[in-house]
Chains A and B, each alone.
Chain A
């Protein structure tokens, strides 16, 4: 077994190598802001339709409301999720997952690994599944879900999803209490040792201020409505008989992020929340429907 990772970046590389060996395509992050790795089209769209699909990727995840100006040791408005999607889920998926924990240096006879019920749902994309949060010594290190529905459509065959919260996992593996103290690279690097804070602290501070006070609510609202209008128009277009689902889905993601920003700005009343979420879900369902039609036609 290769040596256990010693830094945030080598943790990612270890997971890449592991899942690559297990037959996943290793993707790069999607380039539209998303709140979770699940929203990458490589998950939300690819799990729909009959075709098999195995992929692993890192996805920067933006949660504007979680910004703490770099002052909270555990909470970030921008962080990384490691996402694995296996469709259909293999029978030994739990074993594969446990193998990945061993690969990053967790001894399964020393640590206490537990699968604790956690039924996942994401109402903005009309998705739900059954599974667990995986605990290591009482800390949730991953979410493990068997997708049952996405975009309101049945996921068949079923896709298994693994989501690792990378910072949290790294803090645990490296015994670090503050996320900004995480070793980002190899301490012996010719560049010199960098911490997570060296790389991201400024971003956290600036983005927190923008999320809570900077964004112009009127502009966000206007952009949200524009995106909402554009989705059906884009879905009405096609190229060589292929509906433009992927561009339309990007617009859904943009709308979703705009909603999150409005929410962080405190611009969404409690009573309006459900209606906004419903609007995004409807857009997402349209895309999911078209995607499935394309898959079945192909």
Chain B
């Protein structure tokens, strides 16, 4: 079956846009082909610095003929409606047939040549492509990410003829700008195309470019007894910057190694897109770097290495200048400048935010075992580095620089560590602070963010979370749980924020394999202590896996259903149940069980021994089953007392969790509704 090869050849496409462009090209092509009735056997797209490429296998050379049914107006509809239909369909009235009171047309549609459809498809894709930013060039009106130079489009080795804003389709493309012949060449199918690109020093597939880079880096490292500091993000980027990626190792002036390694790496990465290297088994970096050139230079890369080394030296000299200026300035002048930095229009300046964080850290410190004065001091200093020169240049070093500077100025070690770590954890793989002062400031930082943005109603919606509030809430949860902290969250936020935490906690617990509905059942108790909530959920989870648990849950549901039904008839009787007559064994059994349960259950709960509490509840299982099977609740003579007994069962179990929210047999509730509390999601 014929093959389609399409290449959109342009000037250099920004690296960060290439991956999405390949996906978009694939999606658009699939949609267009499907709309024309084509289902290619295989379709693959590629993106690189100067080209987007698509290859589709197994297309027919023409569409199949089709019969189309067109539904016209009703019989007897006004002539206007008929005229309109005929005009739109391009038919005359004698081509219509009457069917069930409606005029119908049965049109034979001749299948069109695939080439025609491809020509239309390419034009629609080119004109409708969703680049994040696009431009026009020269005198044309066409928009593309950068000037579009050529379109190669061959179907079954034949050029698909068309022209888009003066760009004629053809079977010619270009290879590397400088290497090889640097002349255009002809490609009539994908094999010729890939071979031609190789011969002209272009690696088409980004995955191959990445492999080539990694292998090249490792070879260079091996020869010098070095080790690559791997960096996936950087690898992705440099793979989009070179068609013939060629790693080159350069030397760095070792005197710069006294700068913090984070500074060196960030400077290398941000400004120069270099990989850092280290000596195996040694801390810090080695005084070398790897740049990924786009050329195998005539001199083996000596000039490239030397040139890049020079640029790096001047970059690192800048970094050292920032460091020197910063240590001449210090925390107090930086803090003064925070007055002029807006945090958010509705949430005031960074200086005001710092005041809030200081107050919060002071409140939190005693709850997490941190020294109050140190926590407040660390909170006061935590944001100062935002106005330092180094963080001005490298925003991603916020906190890290604050920590270095705090140590440089000989500040208290706990304070310095808190300044450094208070942004943590910044993602699921980031470490959670454990030192008490760090914990206090990290919590204060995140709680201030959450409380502030919730107060001005900037809550995350759907996929939009511009202030990373989900990450902040998850950070709070991880800090609390990983450190086993006891923190009454209600002290810090209102109902909506607590619901948000509940929701985030559900996500966390779900990742650990816990059920949503159990979290809901426990949250319904109104507890705001995450550690206790999790302990309850875990105990409940364990209990519901036992036979006793499952049966007791079923009993609870039955009892609860009876109570609900009776509630509809009027208010339930209140007060304690009286001791039943001695001849009713089931009644006496439950009555006794409830009485015996009361104290040990409450004791276990007071000790937060939730497993123990569940064990106590398990004692109810037999008596509840016997009661529900053997006692007729609605007996007019005993109705009140029996309802009081069932209410007592519900109340006792309700001390542990709201079992009404636990999904019973059948599909677990979590599959149907991720958020029964209606909280933010």
A residues near B (Cβ < 8 Å) are 73-74, 88-91, 94, 98, 107-117, 119, 129-132, 136-139, 146, 148, 156-158, 160, 172, 177, 269-271
Cβ of B619 to closest chain A Cβ, rounded Å: 68
- Whether the Cβ atoms of B138 and A138 lie closer than 8 Å is no
Residues of chain B lying within 8 A (CB to CB) of residue A113: 177-178, 294-295
Q: Which of B135, B298, B304 lies in contact with A137, CB distance below 8 A?
A: B304
Roughly how many angstroms separate A114 CA and B244 CA in the complex, as a whole number?
12
- Whether the Cβ atoms of A146 and B147 lie closer than 8 Å is yes
Known: A109-B297, A158-B135. A139 touches B147 (CB 8 A): no
Roughly how many angstroms separate A97 CA and B295 CA in the complex, as a whole number?
18
Roughly how many angstroms separate A264 CA and B308 CA in the complex, as a whole number?
32
- Whether the Cβ atoms of B304 and A112 lie closer than 8 Å is yes
Q: Which of A73, A90, A109, A132 lies in contact with B298, CB distance below 8 A?
A: A109
Known: A74-B314, A138-B272. A117 touches B304 (CB 8 A): no
- Whether the Cβ atoms of A136 and B307 lie closer than 8 Å is yes
Roughly how many angstroms separate A156 CA and B341 CA in the complex, as a whole number?
39
Cβ of A105 to closest chain B Cβ, rounded Å: 12
Residues of chain B lying within 8 A (CB to CB) of residue A109: 178-179, 295, 297-298
Residues of chain B lying within 8 A (CB to CB) of residue A130: 133-135, 145-146
Cβ of A54 to closest chain B Cβ, rounded Å: 13
Residues of chain B lying within 8 A (CB to CB) of residue A116: 12, 241
B124 CB–A CB distance under 8 Å: no
Residues of chain B lying within 8 A (CB to CB) of residue A73: 314
7 pairs from A and B in contact (CB 8 Å cutoff): A114-B242, A117-B15, A130-B145, A130-B146, A146-B147, A158-B137, A269-B340
Q: Which of A107, A112, A158, A160 lies in contact with B294, CB distance below 8 A?
A: A112
Known: A91-B149, A116-B241. A138 touches B307 (CB 8 A): yes
- Whether the Cβ atoms of B307 and A90 lie closer than 8 Å is no
Residues of chain B lying within 8 A (CB to CB) of residue A74: 314
A contact face: mostly helix, strand, loop, or mixed: mixed
Residues of chain A lying within 8 A (CB to CB) of residue B361: none
B11 CB–A CB distance under 8 Å: yes
Roughly how many angstroms separate A88 CA and B147 CA in the complex, as a whole number?
13
Roughly how many angstroms separate A130 CA and B143 CA in the complex, as a whole number?
12
Known: A137-B307, A138-B291, A270-B340. A110 touches B297 (CB 8 A): yes
Residues of chain A lying within 8 A (CB to CB) of residue B133: 119, 130
- Whether the Cβ atoms of A89 and B297 lie closer than 8 Å is no
Q: Which of B49, B139, B304, B310 lies in contact with A88, CB distance below 8 A?
A: B139
B259 CB–A CB distance under 8 Å: no
Select from chain A the residue with minimum beta-carbon distance to B306. Answer: A137
Residues of chain A lying within 8 A (CB to CB) of residue B241: 114, 116
Residues of chain A lying within 8 A (CB to CB) of residue B311: 137-139
Residues of chain A lying within 8 A (CB to CB) of residue B49: 115
| Residues of B116-175 whose CB lies within 8 A of A | 133-139, 145-147, 149
Residues of chain B lying within 8 A (CB to CB) of residue A89: 137-138, 147
Cβ of A154 to closest chain B Cβ, rounded Å: 9
- Sorting the interface of chain B by its residue count into under 10, 10 to 19, 20 to 34 or 35 or more gives 35 or more
Q: Which of A112, A139, A158 lies in contact with B297, CB distance below 8 A?
A: A112
Roughly how many angstroms separate A115 CA and B50 CA in the complex, as a whole number?
10
Residues of chain A lying within 8 A (CB to CB) of residue B147: 89, 91, 146
Residues of chain B lying within 8 A (CB to CB) of residue A158: 135-139
Q: Which of B178, B307, B340 lies in contact with A108, CB distance below 8 A?
A: B178
Residues of chain A lying within 8 A (CB to CB) of residue B145: 130
B228 CB–A CB distance under 8 Å: no
B490 CB–A CB distance under 8 Å: no
Cβ of B513 to closest chain A Cβ, rounded Å: 43
- Whether the Cβ atoms of A114 and B294 lie closer than 8 Å is yes
Cβ of A103 to closest chain B Cβ, rounded Å: 16
**16 further contact pairs, Cβ within 8 A, besides A146-B147, A158-B138, A177-B310:** A108-B178, A109-B179, A109-B297, A110-B298, A111-B295, A111-B303, A111-B307, A112-B248, A112-B297, A112-B304, A115-B12, A116-B241, A130-B146, A137-B311, A160-B137, A269-B340
Closest 8 CB pairs of A and B: A137-B307, A117-B14, A115-B12, A138-B308, A112-B293, A157-B139, A138-B311, A130-B135
Known: A110-B298, A137-B303, A172-B307. A271 touches B340 (CB 8 A): yes
Cβ of B246 to closest chain A Cβ, rounded Å: 8
Select from chain A the residue with minimum beta-carbon distance to B296. Answer: A109
B494 CB–A CB distance under 8 Å: no
Roughly how many angstroms separate A160 CA and B135 CA in the complex, as a whole number?
12
Known: A112-B297, A117-B16, A137-B303. A156 touches B340 (CB 8 A): no
Roughly how many angstroms separate A148 CA and B137 CA in the complex, as a whole number?
8
Of B138, B242, B297, B314, most A-chain CB atoms within 10 Å: B138
Residues of chain B lying within 8 A (CB to CB) of residue A160: 137
B629 CB–A CB distance under 8 Å: no
Of A130, A160, A270, most B-chain CB atoms within 10 Å: A130
Roughly how many angstroms separate A98 CA and B12 CA in the complex, as a whole number?
14
Roughly how many angstroms separate A81 CA and B308 CA in the complex, as a whole number?
22
| Residues of B436-482 whose CB lies within 8 A of A | none
Roughly how many angstroms separate A109 CA and B176 CA in the complex, as a whole number?
11
Residues of chain A lying within 8 A (CB to CB) of residue B306: 137
- Whether the Cβ atoms of A110 and B303 lie closer than 8 Å is yes
B417 CB–A CB distance under 8 Å: no
Residues of chain A lying within 8 A (CB to CB) of residue B135: 129-130, 146, 148, 158
Roughly how many angstroms separate A156 CA and B304 CA in the complex, as a whole number?
39
Select from chain B the residue with minimum beta-carbon distance to A132. Answer: B12
Cβ of A9 to closest chain B Cβ, rounded Å: 23
- Whether the Cβ atoms of B136 and A107 lie closer than 8 Å is no
- Whether the Cβ atoms of B298 and A138 lie closer than 8 Å is no
B68 CB–A CB distance under 8 Å: no
Roughly how many angstroms separate A74 CA and B315 CA in the complex, as a whole number?
11
B299 CB–A CB distance under 8 Å: yes
B633 CB–A CB distance under 8 Å: no
Residues of chain A lying within 8 A (CB to CB) of residue B137: 88-89, 146, 158, 160
Cβ of B1 to closest chain A Cβ, rounded Å: 37
Residues of chain B lying within 8 A (CB to CB) of residue A271: 340
Roughly how many angstroms separate A269 CA and B342 CA in the complex, as a whole number?
13
